[in-house]
Structure 1
Amino acid sequence: MRDQLEDALKNQEFGYGQAQHINQIELPKRFYKNVDVARTEAGFVVTLDEKPTRTPGRKVPVAVPTHAIAQAMATEWAAQEKYVDPTTMPMVRLINSAVESGEEQAPAFRAEIGKFAGNDLLLYRADTPQELVDDQERHWDGALVKLARHFDVAFQPTIGIIHQAQPVSTLQRLDAALEGQGLLSLTALVSITGITGSGLLAIALLHQLLTSDEVWTAAHVDEDHQIRLWGEDEEAMERRGKRRVEFDTAVAVVEALRA
């Protein structure tokens, strides 16, 4: 399912799908002097020398519903120096990815989050070592209890990796928890789901059942256990740092739209 999420978010140059290839292409020079935010009938837009930005692939005009998101994008545009480096522009890439996907992709994004939730990281537990078992229980059980109480659902965790079907009523209510979320919110939630490996954590974050730090910690229980055993790997920690930036960006979108 990670592959499906990645495919769904493919974009041109500034989108998530192509971000991993940025280092293989020649970066464009900064072609503008002034960056600003303007309000239009379509929403808030970032302007470069008074011209609204467009997505790099399909050249779709980029307008967002909140000033906070537009300002975050403007800050990234303004921070570019001699060259425009999309890898340093996570908010621009995320919003461009959503805009280029189009509203028609919103149901598919919602469905992908639901698929993860039905086969979720939090539902498949280790039986050894005891330290890992305890960590999973400490961070994952609390999240499941909050979700169960809030949505009046039941979960069936299992030990190992053999598929354990969840109650149909649970899956239906979790899908309903995404009701009313628009394209930008769903794109951000898909990003959070892909980064954490958990649709349940994304839904818990959306409904303010867990903080972003609690979600991040829960998503990395297994990885943190390995770090305690074998120590930190520099490259792995660098990748984790980049994932945290993408995660925080997606969280900022969810929170801005909620506000």
Structure 2
Amino acid sequence: MSDWKPKRFWKLASVAECEGGYTVELDGRPVKTPAKTLLVLPSRAMAEAVAVEWDAQEKEVDPRSMPFTRSANAAIDKVRVQHAEVAELLAAYGDSDLLCYRAVTPAELVARQSRLWDPALDWAAETLGVRLVTVDGLMHRAQPLEAQKKLTARVHALSDFQLAAFHDLVSLSGSLVLGFAAAMAWRDPDEIWRISRLDEIWQEEQWGPDEEAQALAEIKRQAFLHAKRFFDLSS
């Protein structure tokens, strides 16, 4: 029974307007989430992306090939019922943001962190209205309380669908600032992803690439890029 997979039973997946947004119908029957809630999506573009995934299924349904559907299910079944808790979890990254903890040596790494990470912190100061403090080493240093409050308010203001995407943008990058930077299109999302991996890239340059680590990094990169696309379709 553990190998059982749902079979394709429909001929056509289509987009339909519904109360609160848009939904996807399979031969006229609306799709529901795993928790049996109607799949109501915030934009037609997102509904079209979900419909394409359902239309692409062949004999058996493979959820792994349906990232927009899975993200939408998470927004409705998980984030919606615990929005405040998820927002608080992500806002906490601002107090220990990746970009704020700097190497002391070697000089080349120190310079690279400054060159790539300082512009992101400058962007946050200008766009988000918060100036985060950098620290030499890994010892935690609390960020200014006013900055934490501003960032927390911004996270809580995100919609359920935006927050579902934002969760991955932040947790995968390890940075609340880079999560906002990706969501608000500061730079190309692939560039932002590379900025978040500065330390790992440095290690690869020093010791050579590790195939297993690179494969895992590519999976995370694809998830980060998907989260950005999902965020953009969330309004």
Normalised by the length of structure 1, the TM-score is 0.83
1:32 — aligned with what?
10
Of 181, 184, 192, which residue of structure 2 is paired with 1:204?
181
Q: Secondary structure at the match of 2:105?
A: coil
Distance in 2 between residues matched to 1:248 and 1:144, nearest whole Å: 21
1:241 aligns with 2:215: no
Question: What percent identity do the matched residue pairs reach?
Answer: 35
1:45 corresponds in structure 2 to 23
CA RMSD of aligned residues (A): 1.9
Gap runs ≥5 in structure 1: 1-23
In structure 2, the partner of 1:9 is none
1:80 aligns with 2:57: yes
1-structure distance, mates of 2:58, 2:105:
50
Q: Which runs of 5+ in 2 are unaligned?
A: none
1:44 maps to a residue whose letter is Y
Instruction: Count the aligned residue pairs.
Output: 234
**Hey, what's the Cα distance between the residues in 2 that align with 1:187 and 1:226?**
31
Match status 1:161 vs 2:138: yes
Name the SS for the 2:234 alignment partner: helix
| Alpha carbons of structure 1 residues 154 and 110: separation in structure 2 relative to 1, 3 Å | same
* Cα pair distance change 1:241/1:83, threshold 3 Å: farther
Please state how far the C-alpha of 1:65 moved relative to its aligned partner: 1.2
Give a deviation string over 1:86-131, Cα, whole Å, max 9, x none. 1121111111011111533122222122101111111111122233
Note closer, same or farther for the CA distance 1:91–1:34 as it changes in structure 2 (3 Å cut): same
Which residues of 2 match residues 8-27 of structure 1 at below 5 A?
25-27=3-5
What do residues 109-161 of structure 1 show as CA deviations (whole Å, max 9, x unaligned)? 22122101111111111122233222211211110011012233222111221
Aligned to 2:38: 61
Please name the residue that 2:111 is paired with. Answer: 134
1:191 corresponds to 2:207: no
CA distance in 1, matches of 2:210, 2:8: 35
SS where residue 257 of structure 1 aligns?
coil
* Structure 1 ranges of 4+ moved more than 4 A: none
The answer to whether the 8 A contact 2:95-2:142 is kept is: yes
C-alpha contact 2:79 2:163 (8 A) present in aligned 1: no
Distance 1:209 1:102 in 2: 25
**Match of 2:12, as an amino acid?**
N
Of 204-213 and 92-101, more deviation after overlay is shown by: 204-213
